[in-house]
């Protein structure tokens, strides 16, 4: 064995091993190649066994070449391994692909009732103006539901509220949330900003626009300087919050025995925008609530001095607001609880 | 109140378009509900003149006519069945292609062999008058060929007059409002009475008012020699446009006055009224005797009570005052002499009587709102005059009047500064006075002695004003609604226009903080909706069958401090229907109804909840309590390509309760079997309690109930009723944070074999009681039945999580805890599975 032969064998191994690394079909072949070439019993070791036969001065030269070949083979193996493992990962990912266009696993969806949600949204708007929520009983007495609201027995204004009477002495189902005004005044001193949502009842044949059970939200604000102008400003804000900032409003005289002056509050028809359509009885406007300055007699019944304090009250039908917001035309749907209807709401 | 514009124009000039007028009235508080074009349904109906009238050759009852509708147009031959026609008359002609009210279409037809090119119209066919017999004969100067609608068309405003404005339930009253809106003054009605000669009213009629409190004024007139018949066509046209059916000239006269002046009038056939020894007809105004009877105009025999006010004669009742006349004294074709009653009655008395007899009418609704005393005389005079003009009667001179002194204007003082304070305006006193003048409210400086009425009885508050800063309004007699200072404020605001009230954001003091009582209800709603349930709202009024079916042997108790259920249901004494006649005592039936309705609609999967109240009586006191109700049926996890369907079962409902308890910071609910409720499946129903803050019953609906309620489903229906702290009004307390375990926790699984009858809840209770304070969590993860267990055994597999916040547990500590549990098992007949 001479130096030339050894050198030639090493160069041949370099050429063969790097070519084999480049041609390896997979990482397993590379592993085998590594063992076969660089392992303890591999080709490189086998060639170097012949080094002992060389003259001492040639040995370092062969050692240097051998190290160079080892580095070249390792580099070739490394490069091939990186290339092959990237390809293998790509192959795995390809194999794992699914049809991502199929629908997902269904999750049962619930929803909140539009009347309850509308009442909550109304309360949220007024909460911004400091109104806090109170609730009163649904079984009321004539005194609180009517007389303390300036509606004496046999008053013609009683025609405005067809009443369901109960088989309990003098009790009835509240026809409106207004008796809550009295209850709040009996409990709080001004400044008062109260909001009273709740279920009401009337002796009313049920049709698309009338219900015998329905929900109202009542508001009451009493302080030393609370004026009709404050009421107008607040209702404007409310209308804009619920129906859009550009929705025109109309403030006009109304009538309730428990307010003086009394107000009817309209918004421009949400269907025709004032063009006059059947939905607004061809007036271009839709009434959304009634209001007014609390009648001095009602303040007196509430134990509040009308010479010092004054305030306003308003009341609205939640169904009415919900109808206009959600374009519901038949309010019977709210209590029919057909899930096909309710499913449309959040 | 229906207001024909042509009639309104008699009292005020109307230069606005009907739409403008409607808007102005609405903005003044007289809301115009609708605008009706009277005559809009006459299409192609024109004025014609009869040229010839001949008998039909083949039909005795028919006439052949020729009609011209104007120069240059071919005369038309028209067949007509009426008998009141003659050549030269002007009449309404419906041309071929015409449309009449009721969508009646007129075409060229053949009648008994003769072609008819249209139709001559009766007043009834045009809904212009009440006459269906004859053709409507028009004035001879009616212009030929002109559409009828141009001449007889009108616009009718339907005005919603509020109960406090009885004065505006009349053409005159609304004319005053129009005048105020257009800065005019309404023309006062000029009533001239052309009295005849002969005996005076006082010599013919005696009126004895025995209850002046109920009848403060009675004005009577006597008209003799009337010929009862049809009113003039123009009268009928007006009445019809105003919604009043023409009856006869006498009755029409009283109705006309009621609509024109707002004064209800009654006319009696004088011949039916008793004549006294002095030759006078004797009219008595008195209360009925209890049990006294009267046959009213509608021919119903009515029994009266002692608080009914009557118009009577010495022999008995003639009419129910202000409500309805009697059949015996009704004006008929044979009537020659008429007694006109124009009276003022006590509003409350009239209202009560009208309600009791279920006879509410245009007249009673005006009486019950209060009448201006002045109108008694005016109404009597106006009616007498119309009887003279329309029925040819002779008006007896003078009147019988029980209270001829008419009250003057009332004084209502106010403080202009206070008005501004209330309205948020800055109007000078003079501006306020000028606005009041537009509705004929005169004003003057307040005088010594004038009081500002802030509130009237029963909470009278009258203030002595600073005279230099107070004004006194002199309120016209018809405005009974202006009585206190706030009424004046409204009048000023209304006349000026609410649109001119400034719109400001309140800047007064804010109230103290108050938590919303809806906080817990809101969290419950959101939690359940998030868990896939739909919120429903159902009727609180239910049927007797509901109440009887959904009855609880043991009520779900309310949380402490709230109204407890139990007791009889509260009933409605005047229900709309039997189905809504009682207040529900629980939500179960309502939710079963929701299930039933949706199954009927083909929605098989129903998961719903409601927060609502139960109601019952405690003696004579009502109670109300808040509840949450659930109902589940059908598929809980819907089928999909990647998962089979899973139906709802009891565990879903319990899971919902547990979710709620977790979200509300309550302990996990503990269950106990309840086989004693008829509404529920005896083997699949549990009572649940989470400490003292949640009580519930949850179970499958009893199959009998499902059958009786006609639930069309083979699926189980799970229902629950839940009482929950805070549902009525409550706050969520802030959650307590728990330190996250810094030391590793250890899990141990125990399979515990117990008898089939031993409840999982008691096994769990035993584990909790014995595992010691190291137990962090306990969960049941499997139940096994079968070999090698005995047939009446089950194995419950629990996972215990043990740990300490202070240290890592030693093996010995863990084993000791497990051993303590195992040692206790024999106490419930249990053992560890090997």
In a shared domain, residues B48 and B33? no
State both tokens at B123: 């007043």
What's the gap in Å between the CA of A252 and the closest CA on chain B?
5
Strands B606-618 and B621-633 come out as: antiparallel
Domain end call among A35, A66, A96: A96
Cα of first residue to Cα of last residue in chain A, in angstroms, is 90
In a shared domain, residues B635 and B675? yes
> Three-state SS string across chain A, please?
CCHHHHHHHHHHHHHHHHHHHHHCCCHHHHHHHHHHHHCCCCHHHHHHHHHHHCCHHHHHHHHHHHHHHHHHHHHHHHHHHHHHHHHHHHHHHHHHCCCCCCCCCCCCCCECCHHHHHHHHHHHHHHCCCCEECCCCCEEEHHHHCHHHCCCCCCHHHHHCCCCEECCCCEEECCCCCHHHHHHHHHCCCCEEEEEEEEEECCCCCECCECCEEEEEEEEEEECCCCHHHHHHHHHHHHHHHHCCCCCEEEEECCCCCEEEEEEEEEECCCCCCCCCHHHCCCCEEEEEEEEEECHHHHHHCCCCCCCCEEEEEEEEHHHHHHHHHCCCCCCHHHHCCHHHHCCCC
Calculate mean pLDDT across residues B273-282: 95
**CA B284-B288-B292 angle, 5° bins:** 120
pLDDT, position A306: 96
**Which CATH number covers residue B675?**
3.30.930.10
**Which CATH number covers residue B318?**
3.50.40.10
In a shared domain, residues B566 and B707? yes
**CA B791-B797-B803 angle, 5° bins:** 160
Percentage of chain B lying above the pLDDT 70 cut:
100
Calculate mean pLDDT across residues B822-830: 93
State both tokens at A320: 């009415």
**CA B460-B463-B465 angle, 5° bins:** 160
Is residue B382 one of the residues assigned to a domain? yes
CB B488, CB B414: distance < 8 Å? yes
State both tokens at B222: 């006597």
Which ranges of B327-472 would DSSP assign to H, the alpha helix?
A: 347-356, 362-367, 374-391, 416-423, 429-437
CB B381, CB B251: distance < 8 Å? no
Q: Which chain A residues have a beta carbon less than 8 Å from that of B530?
A: 110
Task: Name the closest residue on chain A to residue B502, using Cα atoms.
Answer: A229
In a shared domain, residues B778 and B825? yes
In a shared domain, residues B29 and B51? no
Residues 6+ apart with CB under 8 A from B236: B123, B128, B129, B130, B131, B230, B246, B252
Q: Which chain A residues have a beta carbon less than 8 Å from that of B642?
A: 102, 105
Calculate mean pLDDT across residues A190-217: 95
Residue A263's Cβ-count burial label (10 Å; 0-12, 13-18, 19+) is buried
> What is the C-alpha radius of gyration for chain B, rounded to an integer number of angstroms?
41
Q: Which chain A residues have a beta carbon less than 8 Å from that of B580?
A: 212
Which ranges of B582-696 would DSSP assign to H, the alpha helix?
A: 588-600, 650-663
Q: What digits encode the pLDDT tens for the residues B771-802? A: 999 999 999 999 999 999 999 999 999 999 99
**Are B510 and A199 an interchain contact pair (Cβ–Cβ within 8 Å)?**
no
Q: How confident is the model at residue A211 (pLDDT cuts 50, 70, 90)?
A: very high
In a shared domain, residues A9 and A153? no
Q: How confident is the model at residue A1 (pLDDT cuts 50, 70, 90)?
A: low
Q: Which of B176-180, B704-708, B730-734 has the lowest mean pLDDT?
A: B730-734
Domain extent for B20:
2-39+156-181
pLDDT, position B780: 95
Distance of CA B593 to the CA centre of its chain: 26
3-state secondary structure of B692: coil
Is residue A219 one of the residues assigned to a domain? yes
Residue B811 parent element (H or E):
helix B811-824
Domain end call among A48, A67, A96: A96
In a shared domain, residues A166 and A229? yes
Is residue B223 one of the residues assigned to a domain? yes
Q: What digits encode the pLDDT tens for the residues B440-464? A: 999 999 999 999 999 998 889 999 9
**Which CATH number covers residue B768?**
3.30.70.380
Instruction: Tell me: pLDDT of B732 over 90.
Output: no
Any A CB within 8 A of B503 CB:
yes
**Are B516 and A133 an interchain contact pair (Cβ–Cβ within 8 Å)?**
yes
In a shared domain, residues A212 and A324? yes
State both tokens at B189: 């009605």
Q: How far is CA A149 from CA A302, B47, B270, in A?
A: 9, 57, 46
Mean model confidence pLDDT for chain B = 94
Q: What digits encode the pLDDT tens for the residues B577-613? A: 999 999 999 999 999 999 999 999 999 999 999 999 9
Domain end call among B724, B759, B790: B724
Best CA proximity match to A154, nearest among B368, B211, B362: B368
**Are A168 and B601 an interchain contact pair (Cβ–Cβ within 8 Å)?**
no
What's the gap in Å between the CA of A136 and the closest CA on chain B?
10
Instruction: Tell me: pLDDT of A323 over 90.
Output: yes
Instruction: Tell me: pLDDT of B735 over 90.
Output: no
Any B CB within 8 A of A92 CB:
no
Instruction: Tell me: pLDDT of B564 over 80.
Output: yes
Q: How far is CA B797 from CA A204, B330, B751, B782, in A?
A: 59, 93, 4, 5
Calculate mean pLDDT across residues A321-325: 95
β-sheet bridge partners, residue B138: B90
In a shared domain, residues B79 and B165? no
In a shared domain, residues B673 and B553? yes
In a shared domain, residues A80 and A129? no
pLDDT, position A307: 95
Is residue B188 one of the residues assigned to a domain? no
In a shared domain, residues B340 and B360? yes
**Are A213 and B347 an interchain contact pair (Cβ–Cβ within 8 Å)?**
no
Is residue B641 one of the residues assigned to a domain? yes
**Are B498 and A339 an interchain contact pair (Cβ–Cβ within 8 Å)?**
no
Q: Which chain B residues have a beta carbon less than 8 Å from that of A318?
A: none
State both tokens at A115: 């009347």
Q: How many residues does chain A have?
A: 346
Is residue A30 one of the residues assigned to a domain? yes
Q: Which chain B residues have a beta carbon less than 8 Å from that of A228?
A: 422-424, 493, 501
Best CA proximity match to B253, nearest among B280, B228, B271, B278: B228
Number of domains in chain A: 2
Is residue A7 one of the residues assigned to a domain? yes
Residue to mutate among B18, B30, B531, B537, with most A CBs inside 10 A, is: B537
Closest CB to A301: pick one of B459, B528, B541: B459
Q: Which chain A residues have a beta carbon less than 8 Å from that of B638?
A: 106, 108
Percentage of chain B lying above the pLDDT 90 cut:
84
In a shared domain, residues B257 and B391? yes
pLDDT, position B293: 94
Any B CB within 8 A of A255 CB:
yes
Q: What digits encode the pLDDT tens for the residues B328-378? A: 999 999 999 999 999 999 999 999 999 999 998 999 999 999 999 999 999
Q: What digits encode the pLDDT tens for the residues B383-430? A: 999 999 999 999 999 999 999 999 999 999 999 999 999 999 999 999
Instruction: Tell me: pLDDT of B738 over 90.
Output: no
**Which CATH number covers residue B144?**
2.40.50.140
Domain end call among A96, A129, A155: A96
Residue to mutate among A98, A101, A113, A197, with most B CBs inside 10 A, is: A113
Q: Which chain A residues have a beta carbon less than 8 Å from that of B169?
A: none
Task: Name the closest residue on chain A to residue B465, using Cα atoms.
Answer: A307
In a shared domain, residues A68 and A129? no
Whole-angstrom distance, CA of residue A315 vs CA of residue A160: 14
Residues 6+ apart with CB under 8 A from B442: B409, B436, B473, B474
CB B119, CB B93: distance < 8 Å? yes
In a shared domain, residues A11 and A90? yes
Is residue A109 one of the residues assigned to a domain? no
In a shared domain, residues B386 and B438? no
A to B CB pairs, distance under 8 Å: 293
CB A187, CB A215: distance < 8 Å? no
Residues 6+ apart with CB under 8 A from B646: B635, B636, B637
Is residue A107 one of the residues assigned to a domain? no
What's the gap in Å between the CA of A309 and the closest CA on chain B?
10
**Are B572 and A306 an interchain contact pair (Cβ–Cβ within 8 Å)?**
no
Q: Which chain A residues have a beta carbon less than 8 Å from that of B461?
A: 296, 300, 306-307
Residue to mutate among B453, B486, B618, with most A CBs inside 10 A, is: B486
Task: Name the closest residue on chain A to residue B24, using Cα atoms.
Answer: A252
In a shared domain, residues B823 and B757? yes
Closest CB to B535: pick one of A112, A127, A169: A112
In a shared domain, residues A297 and A220? yes
**Which CATH number covers residue A248?**
3.30.930.10
Whole-angstrom distance, CA of residue A224 vs CA of residue A203: 38
Distance of CA B583 to the CA centre of its chain: 20
**CA B402-B252-B300 angle, 5° bins:** 80
pLDDT, position A109: 87
Residues 6+ apart with CB under 8 A from B373: B216, B217, B344, B403, B406, B407, B477
What's the gap in Å between the CA of A108 and the closest CA on chain B?
5
CB B740, CB B729: distance < 8 Å? no
Question: Residue A251, Cβ neighbours under 10 Å: how many?
Answer: 23
pLDDT, position B457: 84
Q: What digits encode the pLDDT tens for the residues B102-118? A: 888 998 888 777 888 89
**Are B570 and A139 an interchain contact pair (Cβ–Cβ within 8 Å)?**
yes
Any B CB within 8 A of A142 CB:
no
Domain extent for A326:
114-342
In a shared domain, residues A220 and A333? yes
**Which CATH number covers residue B164?**
3.30.56.10
Task: Name the closest residue on chain B to residue A312, using Cα atoms.
Answer: B422
In a shared domain, residues A73 and A177? no
In a shared domain, residues B447 and B547? no
Closest CB to B573: pick one of A166, A306, A342: A166
Is residue A337 one of the residues assigned to a domain? yes
Closest CB to B494: pick one of A120, A133, A253: A253
Is residue A203 one of the residues assigned to a domain? yes
Q: Which chain A residues have a beta carbon less than 8 Å from that of B26?
A: 252, 283
Number of domains in chain B: 6
Is residue A239 one of the residues assigned to a domain? yes
Distance of CA B680 to the CA centre of its chain: 39
Calculate mean pLDDT across residues B504-515: 90
Domain end call among B468, B500, B532: B500
Whole-angstrom distance, CA of residue B380 vs CA of residue A8: 145
Calculate mean pLDDT across residues B159-163: 95
Which backbone phi and psi does B251 adopt, to 5 degrees? -65, -40
Among A residues 315-334, those touching chain B with beta carbons less than 8 Å apart: 334
In a shared domain, residues A25 and A66? yes
CB A295, CB A310: distance < 8 Å? no
pLDDT, position A48: 83
3-state secondary structure of B574: coil
In a shared domain, residues A139 and A11? no
In a shared domain, residues A291 and A193? yes
């Amino acid at each position: 064995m001479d130096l030339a032969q050894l050198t030639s064998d090493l160069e041949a191994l370099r050429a063969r091993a790097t070519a084999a690394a480049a041609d390896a079909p997979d990482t397993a072949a590379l592993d085998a190649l590594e063992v076969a070439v660089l392992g303890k019993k591999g080709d490189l070791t086998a060639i170097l066994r012949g080094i002992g036969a060389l003259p001492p001065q040639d040995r370092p030269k062969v050692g240097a070449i051998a190290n160079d070949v080892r580095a070249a083979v390792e580099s070739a193996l490394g490069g091939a391994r990186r290339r092959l493992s990237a390809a293998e990962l790509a192959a795995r990912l390809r194999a794992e692909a699914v049809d991502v266009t199929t629908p997902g696993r269904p999750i049962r969806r619930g929803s909140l009732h539009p009347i309850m949600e509308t009442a909550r949204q109304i309360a949220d708007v007024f909460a911004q103006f400091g109104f806090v929520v109170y609730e009163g009983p649904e079984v009321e007495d004539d005194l609180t539901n009517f007389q303390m609201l300036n509606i004496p027995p046999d008053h013609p204004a009683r025609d405005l509220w067809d009443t369901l009477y109960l088989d309990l002495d003098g009790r009835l189902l509240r026809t409106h949330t207004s008796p809550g005004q009295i209850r709040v005044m009996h409990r709080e001193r001004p400044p008062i900003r109260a909001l009273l949502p709740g279920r009401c009842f009337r002796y009313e044949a049920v049709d698309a626009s009338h219900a015998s059970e329905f929900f109202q939200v009542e508001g009451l604000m009493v302080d030393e300087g609370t004026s009709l102008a404050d009421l107008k400003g607040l209702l404007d804000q409310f209308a804009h919050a619920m129906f859009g900032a550009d929705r025109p409003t109309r403030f006009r005289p109304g009538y309730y025995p428990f307010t003086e002056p009394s107000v009817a509050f309209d918004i421009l028809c949400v269907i025709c925008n004032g063009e006059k359509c059947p939905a607004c009885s061809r007036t271009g406007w839709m009434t959304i609530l009634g209001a007014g300055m609390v009648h001095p007699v009602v303040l007196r019944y509430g134990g509040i001095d009308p010479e010092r304090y004054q305030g306003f009250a308003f009341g609205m039908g939640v169904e009415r607001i919900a109808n206009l917001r959600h374009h519901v035309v038949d309010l019977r749907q709210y209590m029919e609880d057909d899930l096909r209807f309710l499913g449309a709401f959040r | 109140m229906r207001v024909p514009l042509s009639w309104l124009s008699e009292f005020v000039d109307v230069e606005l378009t009907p739409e403008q007028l409607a808007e102005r009235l609405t903005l003044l508080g007289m809301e115009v509900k609708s605008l009706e074009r009277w005559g809009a349904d006459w299409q192609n109906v024109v004025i014609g003149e009869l040229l010839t009238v001949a008998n039909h050759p083949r039909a005795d009852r028919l006439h052949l006519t020729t009609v011209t509708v104007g120069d240059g147009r071919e005369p038309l031959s028209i067949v007509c069945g009426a008998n009141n026609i003659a050549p030269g008359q002007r009449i309404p002609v419906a041309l071929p292609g015409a449309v009449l009210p009721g969508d009646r279409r007129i075409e060229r037809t053949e009648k008994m062999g003769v072609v008819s090119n249209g139709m001559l119209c009766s007043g009834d066919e045009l809904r212009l008058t009440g006459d269906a017999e004859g053709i409507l004969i028009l004035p001879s100067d009616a212009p030929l060929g002109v559409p009828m609608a141009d001449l007889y068309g009108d616009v009718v405003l339907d005005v919603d007059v509020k109960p406090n404005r009885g004065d505006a339930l009349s053409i005159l009253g609304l004319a005053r409002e129009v005048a105020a809106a257009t800065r005019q003054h309404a023309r006062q009605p000029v009533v001239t009475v052309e009295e005849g000669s002969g005996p005076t009213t006082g010599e013919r009629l005696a009126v004895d008012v025995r209850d002046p409190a109920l009848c403060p004024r009675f004005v009577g007139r006597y008209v003799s020699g009337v010929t009862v018949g049809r009113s003039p066509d123009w009268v009928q046209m007006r009445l019809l446009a105003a919604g009043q059916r023409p009856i006869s000239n006498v009755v029409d006269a009283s109705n006309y006055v009621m609509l024109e002046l707002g004064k209800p009038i009654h006319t009696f056939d004088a011949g039916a009224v008793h004549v006294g020894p002095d030759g006078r007809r004797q009219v008595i105004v008195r209360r009925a005797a209890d049990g006294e009877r009267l046959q009213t105009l509608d021919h119903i025999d009515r029994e009266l009570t002692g608080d009914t006010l009557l118009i009577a004669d010495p022999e008995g009742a003639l009419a129910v005052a202000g409500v309805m006349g009697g059949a015996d004294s009704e004006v008929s074709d044979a009537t020659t002499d008429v007694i006109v009653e124009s009276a003022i009655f006590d509003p409350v008395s009239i209202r009560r009587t009208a309600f009791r007899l279920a006879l509410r009418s245009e007249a009673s609704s005006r009486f019950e709102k209060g009448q201006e005393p002045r109108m008694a005389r005016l109404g009597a005079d106006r009616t007498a005059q119309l009887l003279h003009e329309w029925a040819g009667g002779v008006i007896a001179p003078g009147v019988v009047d029980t209270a001829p002194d008419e009250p003057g204007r009332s004084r209502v003082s106010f403080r202009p500064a206070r008005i501004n304070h209330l309205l948020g305006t800055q109007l000078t006193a003079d501006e306020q006075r000028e606005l009041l003048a537009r509705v004929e409210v005169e004003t003057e400086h307040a005088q010594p002695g004038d009081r500002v009425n802030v509130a009237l009885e029963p909470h009278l508050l009258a203030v002595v004003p600073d005279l230099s800063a107070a004004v006194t309004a002199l309120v016209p007699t018809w405005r009974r609604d202006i009585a206190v200072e706030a009424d004046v404020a409204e009048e000023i605001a209304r006349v000026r226009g609410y649109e001119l009230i400034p719109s400001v954001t309140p800047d007064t003091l804010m109230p103290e903080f108050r938590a919303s009582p809806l906080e817990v209800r809101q969290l419950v709603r959101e939690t359940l909706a998030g868990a896939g349930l739909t919120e429903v709202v159902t009727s609180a009024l239910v049927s007797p069958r509901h109440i009887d079916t959904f009855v609880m042997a043991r009520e779900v108790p309310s949380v402490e401090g709230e109204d407890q259920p139990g007791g009889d249901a509260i009933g409605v004494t005047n229900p709309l229907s039997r189905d809504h006649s009682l207040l529900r005592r629980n939500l179960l039936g309502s939710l079963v109804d929701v299930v039933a309705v949706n199954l009927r609609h083909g929605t098989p999967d129903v998961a719903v909840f409601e927060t609502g109240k139960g109601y019952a009586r405690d003696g004579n006191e009502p109670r109300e309590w808040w509840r949450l109700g659930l109902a589940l049926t059908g598929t809980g996890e819907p089928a999909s390509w990647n998962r089979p369907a899973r139906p709802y079962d009891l565990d879903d409902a319990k899971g919902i309760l547990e979710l709620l308890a977790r979200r509300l910071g309550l302990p996990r609910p503990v269950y106990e079997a309840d086989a004693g409720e008829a509404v529920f499946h005896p083997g699949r129903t549990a009572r649940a309690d989470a400490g003292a803050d949640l009580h519930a019953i949850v179970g499958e609906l009893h199959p009998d109930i499902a059958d009786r309620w006609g639930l069309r489903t083979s699926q189980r229906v799970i229902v629950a009723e839940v009482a929950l702290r805070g549902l009525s009004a409550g706050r969520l307390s802030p959650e307590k944070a728990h330190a996250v375990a810094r030391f590793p926790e250890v899990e141990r699984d125990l399979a515990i074999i117990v008898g089939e009858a031993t409840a999982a809840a008691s096994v769990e209770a035993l584990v909790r009681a014995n595992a010691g304070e190291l137990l962090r969590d306990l969960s049941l993860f499997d139940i096994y039945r079968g070999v090698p267990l005995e047939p009446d055994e089950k194995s419950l597999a629990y996972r215990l999580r043990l740990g300490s916040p202070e240290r890592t547990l030693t093996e010995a500590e863990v084993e000791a805890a497990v051993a303590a549990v195992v040692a206790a098992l024999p106490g419930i007949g249990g053992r560890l599975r090997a």
